[in-house]
Chains A and B, each alone.
Chain A
Amino acid sequence: MDKNNTQTNSFSLSNDKVSVAILLIPALIFCTIFIFIPAIGTIVGSFYSYSLTSMNNWKWVGFGNYVKATQDEYFWVALKNNFIIVFASIVLQVGVGTILAAILDRGIKHGKVIFRTIIFTPMVISSVAVSLIWLIIYDPNVGILNAIFKSIGLPTPSKGWLGDPNISIWMIMITAAWQNTGFMMVLILAGLQSVSKEVYDAAEIDGATGVKAFWYITLPMIRNVLIVAILITTIGAFKVFEFIFVFTGGGPANATQVLGTYIYLQAFNLLHMGYANAISVILLIIALFLGWLQLTSSRKA
């Protein structure tokens, strides 16, 4: 979004303060009470030790919770998993989404709307429902994934698709890609459709067609849309919660935790509110950094 300061402004603020206040204040009140004050509360609370059951019994621990995080093996596992999910999501969702968008834009003539509608569909289904649907597909007893693997003679994992963390993290990625790739496709398709026909005509004269034209001409032209797509995917990857909550609950032995589920575990299962706040602050810093990146990149656009 462009912050445009050259707009003509024929209204003077001074004689319409009341209107401005009425229009602006509700948004500020809502965001302050439910986003900014809790954000400050997270930071303050991260320096204390307390639990839900002893709400009035706060104990100052300074940077103790942060020191604890650096020494907590599972915090690092959660952070690492978030980063794996970021990179895998960019490849699977933005990468495949770009290929699908390119095919729908210029690769095929028939059935564009049908394909687009089908591939976009999972976006409107809640992540909990998506997780539960995939749970039956991955199930070792009744799941079709096992059935398909067995029917073509391939081995199936002995602990099930979700029992071995080395495998289950990829099962989580496949499910996340199932839900989100269509969104990336539509986003990138909108960018592709803004590339004018003349560009392709000129490219064809220079001998660039098909994949070559896409790689050298189209991709650089939709660079900004791709950056937005990557940032949305990255932000989304740090918000991952439902898939892991439903599939593995962060287990076995915390091997599939991400920051979101680990904060939930520490706060609402173990009642380590102060410690949960410290991990939240780390998530907050990552989120604000990504938000700042998005802002600066869209200003350049």
Chain B
Amino acid sequence: MTRFKLANLIAYGFVSLFSIYVLMPIIVMVLTTFKSKREIFLEPLGLPSQFGLSSFEKALSVGLGSFMLNSLIVSFFAVFLIVTISGMAAYVLSRIDFKINKFVYLLIVAGFAIPPAAVLVPLYTMVSNLNLLNSLFGVIMPLTAFGIPFTVILFYAFFLDFPKEVEEAATIDGCTKLQIFFRIIVPLSGPVIASAAIFQTVWIWNEFLLALIMLTSDDFKTLPIGLLKLRGEWTSDWGAIMAGLTIAVIPVLIVFLIFQKYFVRSLAGLGK
């Protein structure tokens, strides 16, 4: 019995320690925001003596508001396009059975494997030649493309398990595949649409590399690129840098905590 208790203690101890490791940087970030410069240097482990808000003003002065707006626009359009286009393609792939199907499927898997870094130069050249550098449209288009393969795979698995009877009845009634998809399949696909949208929103909201090479003007920077400006502007003013991060991170954490069940569910499905 004592052995059992010891095992229990180790188990709780391990997850607790790991949780502290996870929480500690977030706590440091928030606390540093309120500390004075003096406190930051002299008492790294100490608490702030007062809740000063001057750091927030400095952080906002680099234009975090407009970076966030750009991120919202990019995320909204890219995720909408990814989910719509991927759902349509996955439905066809799961319902038709002919040679090209296998070829398209292999293409999709290849597309999933190719990282943006491996096609960086030609992609930059292409967007530059189209005169789309420093435009949100120019970054939404390639981001959409890179989101499609994974989302097709996610939808495909869902559609394979979809009961076929309703669709067969609809076909007899003379519906085309297009009508079946939009009138029958889409309304019944809420959970998988939510999963795909959550997954892609997290990815697009945080995407860095493509935005880095394509958005060099402050007017069009998304949040991850804009955050670098915090360090550029407030080199060793850690209070200002951490205030900027707090502004950027806390809303995402709140959204996550509200929807955490769905986040976890959509990620957990990957292993199946």
Footprint of B on A, CB under 8 Å? 1-5, 7-11, 13, 16, 18-20, 22-24, 26-28, 30-31, 33-39, 41-42, 45, 55, 96, 99-100, 103-104, 107-108, 115-130, 132-137, 139, 141-144, 146-148, 151, 178, 181-183, 186-191, 210-211, 224-225, 228-229, 232, 235, 238-239, 241-242, 245-246, 259-260, 263-264, 267-268, 273, 276-277, 280-281, 283-284, 287-288, 290-292, 294-295
Contact = CB atoms under 8 A, between A and B. Distances in A.
Contact of B271 (A27, A188, A273): A188
Nearest to A228: B271
The main secondary structure of chain B at its interface with chain A is helix
A276 B121 CA distance: 8
B72 interface: no
B181 A23 contact: yes
A126 B89 contact: no
Interface of B: 7-8, 11-12, 14-16, 18-19, 21-26, 28-29, 32, 40-41, 44-45, 85-86, 88-89, 91-98, 102, 104-105, 107-115, 117-126, 141-142, 144-146, 148-149, 152-153, 156-157, 160, 164, 167-168, 171, 176-179, 181, 202, 205-206, 208-209, 213, 223-225, 227-228, 230-231, 238, 241-242, 245, 248-249, 252-253, 255-257, 260, 263-264, 267-272
Contacts of A99: 14
18 contacts: A8-B164, A13-B96, A19-B181, A27-B89, A34-B126, A34-B141, A34-B142, A35-B111, A124-B252, A133-B242, A135-B231, A142-B41, A144-B45, A182-B22, A190-B272, A263-B117, A267-B121, A280-B117
Contact of B122 (A45, A133, A146, A235): A45
Interface centre among B26, B29, B92, B122, by most A CB within 10 Å? B122
Contact of B86 (A27, A121, A132): A27
Given A35-B145, A143-B44, A287-B114, A125 B267 contact: no
Q: Top 4 nearest A-B pairs by Cβ distance?
A: A291-B113, A41-B122, A34-B145, A190-B268
B144 A41 contact: no
Given A23-B91, A127-B206, A291-B113, A42 B121 contact: yes
Contacts of B242: 133, 136
Contacts of B205: 126
A132 B11 contact: no
A108 B105 contact: no
Contacts of B124: 267-268
Contacts of A55: 125
B113 A260 contact: no
Contacts of B179: 19
B15 A100 contact: yes
A10 B168 contact: yes
A31 B15 contact: no
A16 B92 CA distance: 11
A23 to B, nearest CB: 4
Given A10-B164, A126-B227, A259 B110 contact: no
A119 B267 contact: no
B171 A124 contact: no
Given A24-B104, A142-B44, A118 B23 contact: yes
B25 A189 contact: no
Given A36-B107, A287-B115, A31 B177 contact: no
Given A30-B145, A268-B213, A283 B28 contact: no
Given A1-B157, A241-B209, A267-B121, 15 more contacts: A9-B95, A26-B89, A27-B85, A30-B148, A31-B107, A39-B118, A41-B125, A121-B22, A124-B253, A126-B208, A137-B28, A189-B268, A229-B271, A263-B120, A283-B118
Contact of B253 (A24, A96, A121, A280): A121
Contacts of A246: 228
Contact of B160 (A7, A36, A245): A7
Contacts of A133: 25-26, 28-29, 242, 245, 249
